[in-house]
Amino acid sequence: MVDQVSTLRKLAEERVEAVPGKMRVIAVSSGKGGVGKTTFVVNLALALAEYNYKVIILDGDLGLANVDVAFGITPKYSIKHLLSGEKKIEDILYPIGRDIKVLPGASGVVELANLDRGQLKNVLVNFGRLEKMADILLIDTGAGLGHTVLNFIGASDDVIVMLTSEPPSMTDAYGLIKSIKSPSGKHNINVVVNRIKNEQEAHQSFERLERAVKKFIGIPINLLGWIYDDPSVGRSVMEQRPVGLSQQHSPAFQCVQWIAGNVTGVYLQPPTPNNGIKGFITSLLKLNK
């Protein structure tokens, strides 16, 4: 895996952007809560930064400010201040090192996911400026089948559905995939199996889900990767310092580095179904018609 990571990293360093200036919007979601989305999102951002990608994380979880807690930060402003016109997007972005910025959602998240036409121009102008600042917008959508979560997924270019190998997590992942709607009717549905004991467990979980999705929903899904159940993750959550910063050699972060390699591979494939950040905002509007 380590060899694969260094080869992919080399490729990424030499990368020629497939679609210059176009930011990829990726939603990370799960049917059931507590499967590890927030931990994954912050570490994926750190791993992508190692591949020279600039990443913005939108904390799309309602109220709980999960991403802030994971990084141990307390941003002053959120999407709420952007939507009310009090602040510009540059004022609410919270930098984590050189290549990562957090876009705190807080209570503005529901409003953003349920945009109306009156807010469109201001939001488009502000979000449009993100395109120059980063390559990837990663959204931690929170769990479940709520309107806000489904709208974020529907407006994104790709979705990563996270699950664990426990049966309820799988049933809920199936429910989420069934509910995903997209204006273009097609999405790349990528799956990450978290907290596995061995690779076989990851494959078995994925194959069980894939069989059900193929049979009853009739769409393909893609196994993007898996992450080991790793005690360093629990420690890092307590310390509010992601493993990608404090435990780079932990099995969990090595798995995330490998997934980041797969994500950069996906990113290099043209074209995206929802057209990056501008498509994201206009799709949110369409989904609310």
Ligand X SMILES: Nc1ncnc2c1ncn2[C@@H]1O[C@H](COP(=O)(O)OP(=O)(O)OP(=O)(O)O)[C@@H](O)[C@H]1O
**CB 248 to Mg ion: min, Å:** 22
**CB 270 to ligand X: min, Å:** 31
Q: What span, in angstroms and rounded, lies between the C-alpha atoms of 51 and 15?
A: 10
> Which lies closer to ligand X via its Cβ, residue 257 or residue 274?
257
Quick one: three-class SS letters along 65-84?
CHHHHHHCCCCCCCHHHHHC
**CB 142 to ligand X: min, Å:** 6
Tell me, rounded to whole angstroms, the distance of Cα 15 from its chain centroid.
Answer: 21
- List CB contacts of 71: < 8 A, sequence separation 6 or more: 42, 96, 102, 240, 241, 242
Residues within window 58-87 making contact with Mg ion, judged by CB under 5 A: 66
Count Cα neighbours of 162 within 13 Å in the Cβ-side half-sphere. Answer: 29
- In this chain, which of 38, 43, 148, 257 binds Mg ion, going by CB under 5 A? 38
Partner from Mg ion, ligand X, none contacting 254, C-beta within 5 to 8 A by type: none
Smallest CA-to-CA distance from 220 within 186, 192, 193 is with 186
> Cβ(222)–Cβ(263) under 8 Å?
no
Looking at 197-275, list the stretches that DSSP marks H as alpha helix, in order from N- to C-terminal side: 199-212, 231-239, 243-246, 251-267
Partner from Mg ion, ligand X, none contacting 234, C-beta within 5 to 8 A by type: ligand X
Binding site for ligand X (CB under 6 A): 30, 33-39, 61, 66, 142-143, 194-195, 227, 229-230, 233-234, 237, 252
> Which lies closer to Mg ion via its Cβ, residue 66 or residue 169?
66
> Which lies closer to Mg ion via its Cβ, residue 35 or residue 136?
35
**CB 124 to ligand X: min, Å:** 28
Where do contacts with Mg ion occur on this chain (CB under 5 A)? 37-38, 66
